[in-house]
Structure 1
Amino acid sequence: MNHVSPAELFWWVGLPYLALGIFVVGHVWRWRYDQFGWTSRSTQLQEHRLLKWGSPLFHYSAFAAIIGHIIGILIPESLTRALGIPEHVYRWFSAVTGAITAVLVIGGVIVLAGRRLLIPRVRATSDPVDYVALVLLLIVILTGIAPTLAVNLFGSGYDYRMTVAPWFRGLFIGQPDIEAISAAPLIYQVHATAAWAIFAVWPFSRLVHAWSYPLWFLWRPYIVYRSRIPAPPTEPGTTGRRWRKIGGPS
């Protein structure tokens, strides 16, 4: 801490706590005063073919990326070693799965960003904050992919688990290692900064719909629909009308 400048103190301590504060307070405010806006504002009616492919591709791959960050940053190297996982095995597993996830995330972002920018009906429903969130997501994705592909797969790599990860975990116990993150390569610093910016923007964008995933759909009962096309009578005196279940839970 003796060599930490005021700018580094703000950037690596003040900014993260400020972003987390905005994240929490912003969600509370929006839930209390803008529940009708608590939605992804789906553009499926404006365009559905690209959305059908881009949305699940992005969401599932992004979820996989989040799981990877939890394992790589929140779980210390000492724990994985205690579980019998050598560091070189962890690094190769991280590199391969990270590369696959990165390709899928890029594909999803290209589809979703393309339809939002190039299809007039979809573009008309977009707010400025949507583009801000999109740009920040692109920065986070690209700065996260570059070390995975260029360093972990083809080089000796940078041991972020011993530097960036302790700084991040230290934020939650009030002991962030500022010198560690200050000495990290620029690409990791940009990645972290863009991530905190997303946290600050999150409550005011359509990203809030991430907290409203309808898990109850998994056990919702079927809805019985009446067929529009009468079936031919099977017995004399019957109307031939029949009932059926369609699809899955509605």
Structure 2
Amino acid sequence: MSRWDTLLWVLLPYIALTSFVVGHVWRYRRDGYTWTARSTQLLERRLLLVGSLAFHFGILGVIGGHVIGILVPDSWTRAVGISDGFYHWMAVIVGGAAGLLLCLGALLLVYRRLRIDRVRATTLRSDWVMYPLLLVTIVLGMLCTFVGGLLDEYHYRETVSPWFRSVFTLDPKGSLMVEAPFVYQAHVTVAWLLYAVWPYTRLVHVWSVPVGYLARSPIVYRAKRGATRTALR
């Protein structure tokens, strides 16, 4: 491999993962009050509702597809009776549908932020880094699904998937990514850059799952008139 290949497929993943982990710890401990999505629901609701639902449902489907396609070896799916051909077309159809839903949601949210003045006024400098990286990652992912899946029928589970798993076993096989088509290389590279800046953007809110609400004591509301009488009841 060349030095450039070593940088992209061996060093970049660990730089991004280090920034991802250390950045989250630093953000939580030193800047915890900004650990929020900075919701602008009060400024505009209609586009936010449609865009947010489409984006979040789409991203759940995309994450599920990536988990099965990248983290699960192809030998495992064959062992349970799923042929490579069936898996390939299911990935194109289901993954494509989830990707299109994700694209729709992302475009609506970006359009809303750019076109509505009161929403654009709340945009942070980190958003101008995060949003382009997020959009480019989504677009490149769609190209991998449709161009790589339909036109070339490229089997990424033989190169991209084992390389990705090798990163987490601390034995990165960068030579596998050298053989991958450019669109896959670009998608992976931009995704690592997105992970690197993740902790310093509004994306940190994905970890704030309101589990505590399930065990929280109920809130008692009392009217201004007759509050004492209501309390006695």
Normalising by structure 1, what TM-score? Answer: 0.85
Q: Distance in 1 between matches of 2:80 and 2:163?
A: 23
**Partner in structure 2 of residue 8 of structure 1:** 5
1:61 and 2:58 matched: yes
**Partner in structure 1 of residue 137 of structure 2:** 140
**Partner in structure 2 of residue 126 of structure 1:** 123
Q: Identify unmatched segments of 5+ residues in structure 1.
A: 229-241, 243-250
Q: Distance in 2 between matches of 1:200 and 1:85?
A: 35
**Partner in structure 2 of residue 72 of structure 1:** 69
Residue 151 (structure 1) shift: 3.6
Residue 214 (structure 1) shift: 1.2
**Partner in structure 2 of residue 213 of structure 1:** 209
Of 89, 110, 115, the residue aligned with 1:113 is 110
Check whether the contact 1:19–1:196 (CA below 8 A) recurs between aligned residues.
Answer: yes
**Partner in structure 1 of residue 197 of structure 2:** 201
Residue 221 (structure 1) shift: 6.7
Highest CA radius of gyration, 1 or 2?
A: 1
Equivalences for residues 1-250 of structure 1 within 5 A: 4-152=1-149, 154-217=150-213
The secondary structure found in structure 1 opposite 2:153 is coil
The secondary structure found in structure 2 opposite 1:128 is coil
Q: Distance in 1 between matches of 2:215 and 2:11?
A: 44
Q: Distance in 2 between matches of 1:101 and 1:227?
A: 46
Q: Identify unmatched segments of 5+ residues in structure 2.
A: 225-229
Across the aligned residues of Structure 1 and Structure 2, the Cα RMSD in angstroms comes to 2.0
The secondary structure found in structure 2 opposite 1:84 is coil
1:213-239 per-position Cα deviation (integer Å, ceiling 9, x unaligned): 2134456576565689xxxxxxxxxxx
1:1-58 per-position Cα deviation (integer Å, ceiling 9, x unaligned): xxx1122111111111001000110001011001100001111121112111111210
Q: Distance in 2 between matches of 1:94 and 1:224?
A: 49
1:184-220 per-position Cα deviation (integer Å, ceiling 9, x unaligned): 1110011000110011110000000000021344565
Residue 132 (structure 1) shift: 1.2
Check whether the contact 1:12–1:178 (CA below 8 A) recurs between aligned residues.
Answer: yes
Q: Distance in 2 between matches of 1:114 and 1:27?
A: 28
Q: Distance in 1 between matches of 2:67 and 2:104?
A: 22
Structure 1 residue runs of 4 or more that deviate by more than 4 Å after TM superposition: 218-228
Which structure's residues are more often helix, by fraction? 2
Residue 127 (structure 1) shift: 1.0
Residue 70 (structure 1) shift: 0.7
Q: Distance in 2 between matches of 1:112 and 1:98?
A: 21
- Residue identity matched to 1:81: R
> Sequence identity, in percent?
47
- Residue identity matched to 2:143: A
Number of aligned residues: 227
Normalising by structure 2, what TM-score? Answer: 0.91
Q: Distance in 1 between matches of 2:222 and 2:30?
A: 40
**Partner in structure 1 of residue 227 of structure 2:** none
Q: Distance in 2 between matches of 1:49 and 1:215?
A: 27
